Structure 1
């Protein structure tokens, strides 16, 4: 018998529904299928209907469902119902239409979470031919894997952070241990050696059978080691830290001493465990810092902290050409190292402060200083201090020496140290006139004189100006020796020499030197006074070059005079006649003279024809022309040569061949 709902009651279709469903009934009969009511469906009131929901796997009664769960439905009304006439359907609302297959009592819960309505359709045994509609609304819960994370800690601990928002109750199982209740949040657990997994199961209070579990494996951390802080260097308001390699499975905190903080230290930064250096901007200065190992479980406390390194505060001042450094630090150091321009300057002893006076500096020059405190494993380097050396002291007067070089230039040399920014000012006084001849940053200057006279020798002074602008007094006056050389007026080969005194003094000793063309000393002799006559100059030297070497007593220095020269004239003598007759007397024409080195002699006959040429004294003319017997007569010659200085010499004349 099939049923339909009319006026709130389910009635046998053959008795009550004929007028309303004749056509529908005919179609159902043709199809040989049960008929379904089409009117709005509600539960039959006061029907006494009842059914229970069970988990198909555990056969336990349930009041909430899990997505995808297999359930079994069982009538609990106590009525003797025919299972073949008891229908069930799962939907989103109460239904009144059923199919033949809806008598199955084992169903699968849909995968979509939310509310679901289970409707039961059973015969009304009190009113044969009528049916009863009864429904129950149950909650369907999803069962995803719970969301959580695992963090390794020091050996013996693991941290579990449950962030799942689906379930309302959880258990945590460590390895193969017993599951223990847990809640959303972060919890640290003690674990036994060998434990490498954490399993979290989530479930619902209203649907305890609806649950899911997830397992995460972890690698236990190695035994923690004390971190090794090696160095901290201040740079402006930042500090750069350096340390040895860290253990990447742990966390590291950079801390600064703070009496108001618990434990006396305050965290200022988290340090990447993979780093060996770290720069802290806007650092607390001065300050004492340490590196602390910790883990997610906070299980290590303060057992693993590095040695403490305290910053070094450095100040620098300059006065009177000296640089003074002062420094302090917050912890006693075993010693301090002072560097200047990146180079170690000195080391000092232990303590928490110190001073150093740098005297080896040059006024006006900038220097960069740092001080490093050497501690027990930690080196603390101060910020750099750039300091320009200052002074108002007048530098000492320089010592100057004046001497001529081989090119007759006055070479001025001073002993004052040349330094960047310093200058040496040279002044020449000659014949009552003073002239600044030059300013140089070095210790040498060349002065070329257009006029040199023994009677008005040049004299020089020098003043040193340091980089701070302080100028010394003038040096002692120095006057190089001026030497003059002239040929004797009696037409002899003698040379008369006179000179001015070195530095206008009479205490110097003099050595007269005769030089070659290249400046080499050919002859030297000691002379006295301020004059000398060289009676025996070398006969083979056309140009005589003289120089005086003047030496002051007691190592006062050595100076050279200018090179004074005497050029003797080149002389050539040719006979006016010769007799090439073979008697052995005056048979050839030969050249005689002095200072002749290279020449050219050309002889021509009266027709202007060239009859003889000679370029060497060994080439003498015997009067023959092309081997023929000499022809008496007058011949003209032209003699060309150059002296030692390269000046041309030309002489012409005639020579007669006699029988």
Structure 2
């Protein structure tokens, strides 16, 4: 025996389980009956006196308690629990010092024994001994109940009518040290019995069923973790998609969602239920009638098991009506009357924040000015609390009864020997059709009427032979025709003497910057460009004559102050014929001045004859590069005077006749 037990008497309660066997007490040889121990066992008010070694068993229930009180009058009483043994267990471990003791029975039914001993730790002898077999039995039936976790740290139980619930009364232990509650048989079925906890810590709820004449009470337990706070649904947005459909967006979760709708004078009523959804944004569509005129209000509710229903903020749709009036659009919508109203935001076309209104009772907006024929799209987005409400996007076409302004920006230019006309309208106008006019002899001749393009080429124009002028009118988006514009004319370029001249360009809206004379080759490549400011004439500089180009083209470029360009017609400019004839030559074959040769530029056609004094033809040629070598019929002519006659024409077709004399010297 360990020293810790010195000077003590031990009484041990030995509580043993015997698998499938009756409980048996081990024998302990004591000298006389005076050495017997004695105790009283109290189970549910029934008291049993035990002394010596008992053979009868006492029946108790699982998960219950009984009390042992010493009746031996001895000191140092110890109790001992352990499995049954055929030999007396030596008091060396698992001993409990207690004169009186309350014990809890195990949860497993079975056969057990209870031993009380008195032990002298000094002499290491047992002075008293008593043993009692005990049978632990389970209840024949346990109560049935359900438990639900609720918001706001609540839980509730339901005890239904059931064959398992055949008890006279019940007790409910909520597992939080609160008072035990009693329920009578008459209160069954017990529905939605609620209990509020101080926090959301996990608890174990125990329901005990008691019945007269039944030894063991039925006991059932269930765990519960009450919700710490109420779960509120979130209505995110309402959108009128079309006249028959409203889209509701909400924050979902593992709950049952009820969608409440209010229309006209009706109260809110459930129109749709969603049993579960994702925790993110969810979308549901609700069929309605005439959403463009009728206002529908919505809120979302979540009902828990208690049942407790929490609601989202509510909001209503915004039926939007738009009328296109003269130079303006008129918007009207149904307002929101909720105290959480924040603003109306008007979206126009691609501008999401065209106008913001913070007064809840405002229900109209006039948008001006509008352009005839232009499409305008509007949407009203209202914010109330956490909810956005979006009207349907409605489009109208702008209306304007005013006659559209006259076109003042028209560009006319010669392109490939035809006149191209480009009309640019004011940005505030929408064009349906254009009508182009030729302006000749103060008369209008329409062409390309009713087209929708702002640029045409007049195939019947003749800008190389005359000045061409044009006017333009247009029909706006509302079908109203503008007045005809003033006349616009490209410059008309002609030859004049040794130069060129042209008419004034009519007209650039922002004025003329300068004219440029451009010289082109036969391929249209610009050879030179000469700025002549606002002059209307130009003479080429003889120093710039290119002997390789007897013919060049000229055109005039008109440049506006804002860099618009108009070209005139092109003219052919032939270089003036140039010839040089010597008055003597020496055909003596010394290689010096042996040939009577004409020096010429820009000759297209040429014919020359040489005569003697008798008028006989000595030489003739049609190539100015072929000269006379001073012979006639193979013989050298005599010295003296001879006469020539030259007829030549240039590339313009102008003919030049020259006559003169030439001296032959040897």
TM range (shorter): 0.5 to 0.7
Residue equivalent to 1:279: 284
Correspondence 1:544 to 2:552: yes
Question: Which digits, 9 at most, give the CA deviation of each residue in 1:77-107, with x for residues without a partner?
Answer: xxxxxxxxxxxxxxxxxxxxxxxxxxxxxxx
Q: Using the alignment, how far apart are the partners of 1:589 and 1:569 within structure 2?
A: 23
Distance 1:591 1:197 in 2: 133
User: How far apart are 1:449 and its partner, in Å?
Assistant: 4.8
Q: Distance in 2 between matches of 1:309 and 1:407?
A: 68
SS at the partner of 1:410?
strand
Q: Does the C-alpha gap of structure 1 residues 250 and 535 become closer, same or farther in structure 2, counting only changes over 3 Å? A: closer
> Is the 1:402–1:410 Cα contact (8 Å) retained in structure 2?
no
Is residue 504 of structure 2 the alignment partner of residue 495 of structure 1?
A: no
| TM-aligned CA distance change 1:202 to 1:521, over 3 Å | farther
Match of 2:568 in 1: 561
Distance (Å, rounded) in 2 between the aligned partners of 1:373 and 1:222: 34
Pair 1:154-2:162 in alignment:
no
Mapped contact 2:344–2:380 kept (Cα < 8 A): yes
- Deviation string 1:302-336 (CA, Å, 9 cap, x unpaired) is xx654443332321010224322122312264332
Asked if the contact 2:439–2:487 (Cα under 8 Å) also holds between the matched residues in 1, the reply is no
- Checking the alignment, whether the CA contact within 8 Å between 1:288 and 1:310 is kept in structure 2 is yes
Structure 2 CA distance for aligned equivalents of residues 180 and 574 of structure 1? 148
1:335 to 343, 361, 365: 343
- Shift in Å, 1:394: 3.0
Deviation at 1:338, TM superposition (A): 1.0
Is residue 522 of structure 1 aligned with residue 529 of structure 2?
yes
Mapped to 2, the partners of 1:249 and 1:481 lie a distance apart of: 81
Indicate the residue corresponding to 1:76 in structure 2: none
* Structure 2 residue matching 1:471: 3-state secondary structure: coil
Give CA-to-partner distance per residue, 1:228-271, whole Å, 9 cap, x none: 5443323334443445x56x57665544568988xx75555546
Q: Which residue matches 1:451?
A: 462
Higher mean alpha-carbon deviation, 367-376 vs 274-283, is at: 274-283
Residue 561 of structure 1 and its aligned partner are, at CA, apart by 2.3
Q: For the Cα contact (< 8 Å) 1:403–1:561, is it kept in 2?
A: no
Counterpart residue number, 2:479: 469
Q: CA separation in 2, counterparts of 1:348 and 1:445?
A: 48
Of 247, 266, 275, the match for 1:240:
247
Q: Distance in 1 between matches of 2:245 and 2:538?
A: 82
Distance change (3 Å), C-alpha of 1:421 and 1:162 = farther
TM-score normalized by the length of structure 2: 0.53
1:385 equivalent in alignment to 2:394: yes
Aligned CA distance change for structure 1 residues 582 and 176 (closer, same or farther; 3 Å):
same
Q: Aligned pair 1:296/2:301, yes or no?
A: no
Instruction: After superposing the two structures, state which structure 1 stretch, 364-373 or 156-165, moved more.
Output: 156-165
CA contact (8 A) 1:258 1:266 kept: no
The partner residue of 2:192 within 175, 187, 190 is 187
**Which of these residues, 313, 318, 321, is aligned with residue 319 of structure 2?**
313
Q: Deviations over 1:111-130 (max 9, x none)?
A: xxxxxxxxxxxxxxxxxxxx
Contact 2:462/2:468 (<8 A) preserved: no
- The answer on 1:322 being equivalent to 2:328 is yes
Report deviation, 1:442: 4.5
Alpha carbons of 1:437 and 1:500: their partners in 2 closer, same or farther (altered >3 Å)? farther
CA RMSD of superposed structures (Å): 5.2
1:167 to 1:452, Cα distance in 2 relative to 1, 3 A: same
User: Which is worse superposed, 216-225 or 271-280?
Assistant: 271-280
Q: Could you list the per-position Cα deviations for residues 583-614 of structure 1 after superposition, in whole angstroms to 9, with x for gaps in the alignment?
A: 6x359999976479xxxxxxxxxxxxxxxxxx
User: C-alpha distance in 2, partners of 1:196/1:249?
Assistant: 23
Distance 1:213 1:573 in 2: 143
How far apart, in 2, do the equivalents of 1:369 and 1:578 lie? 100
Distance 2:264 2:328 in 1: 40
How far off is 1:567 after superposition?
Answer: 3.9
For 1:574 and 1:174, locate their aligned partners in 2 and report how far apart those are by CA, in whole Å: 139
Which of 374, 399, 404 is the equivalent residue of 2:408?
Answer: 399
1:173 CA drift (Å) = 5.4
Instruction: Give the one of 368, 371, 375 matched to 1:359.
Output: 368
Q: Which residue matches 2:18?
A: none
* 1: CA distance, partners of 2:176 / 2:306: 21
Three-state SS of the structure 2 residue aligned to 1:364 is coil
Contact 1:231/1:241, CA 8 A, preserved across alignment: yes
Would the alpha carbon gap of residues 417 and 509 (structure 1) be closer, same or farther in structure 2, given more than 3 Å must change?
A: closer
Length, aligned pairs only: 442
CA distance in 1, matches of 2:221, 2:597: 128
Distance 2:493 2:203 in 1: 105
User: Deviations along 1:444-503, whole A, 9 cap, x unmatched?
Assistant: 33334553355x5322121212233332222222232222226x5xxxxx2354547747
Deviation at 1:513, TM superposition (A): 1.6
Q: Judge conservation of contact 2:321–2:331 (CA < 8 Å) in 1.
A: yes
Measure, in 1, the Cα distance between the counterparts of 2:203 and 2:512: 100
Supply the distance in 2 between the matched residues of 1:180 and 1:572 (Cα, whole angstroms): 142
* CA apart distance, 1:190: 0.6
Report the CA distance shift for 1:590/1:459 in structure 2 as closer, same or farther (over 3 A): same
CA pair 152-397 structure 1, distance change in 2 beyond 3 A: same
Return the alpha-carbon distance in structure 2 between the equivalents of residues 485 and 319 of structure 1: 58
1-structure distance, mates of 2:337, 2:220: 52
Deviations 1:117-161 (A, max 9, x none): xxxxxxxxxxxxxxxxxxxxxxxxxx8987754321024422334
- 1:609-620 residue pairs with structure 2 within 5 A? none
Q: CA deviation at 1:415?
A: 2.8
Per the normalisation by structure 1, the TM-score is 0.53
Shift of 1:220: 2.0
SS at match of 1:217: strand
SS at match of 1:464: strand
Q: CA deviation at 1:183?
A: 2.9
Shift of 1:367: 3.1
Deviation per residue, 1:401-427 (Å, 9 max, x gap): 243246444232323147877332222
Cα distance in structure 2, aligned partners of 1:501 and 1:233: 59
**Given the superposition, is the C-alpha separation of residues 520 and 241 from structure 1 closer, same or farther in structure 2, using an over 3 Å criterion?**
farther
**Which stretches in structure 1 are left out of the alignment for 5+ residues?**
1-55, 61-142, 489-493, 597-631, 634-642, 645-658
**CA offsets 1:18-48 (integer angstroms, 9 cap, x no match):** xxxxxxxxxxxxxxxxxxxxxxxxxxxxxxx
CA apart distance, 1:436: 0.6
* Counterpart contact for 1:367–1:388, Cα < 8 Å: yes
Structure 2: tracts of 5 or more residues without a match:
1-56, 62-139, 604-634, 637-649, 652-665
> For the residues of structure 2 that align with 1:358 and 1:57, how far apart are their CA atoms?
97
Deviation at 1:381, TM superposition (A): 1.9
Equivalent pair of 2:475/2:482 in contact (CA under 8 Å): yes
Q: Which residue of 2 aligns with 1:513?
A: 517
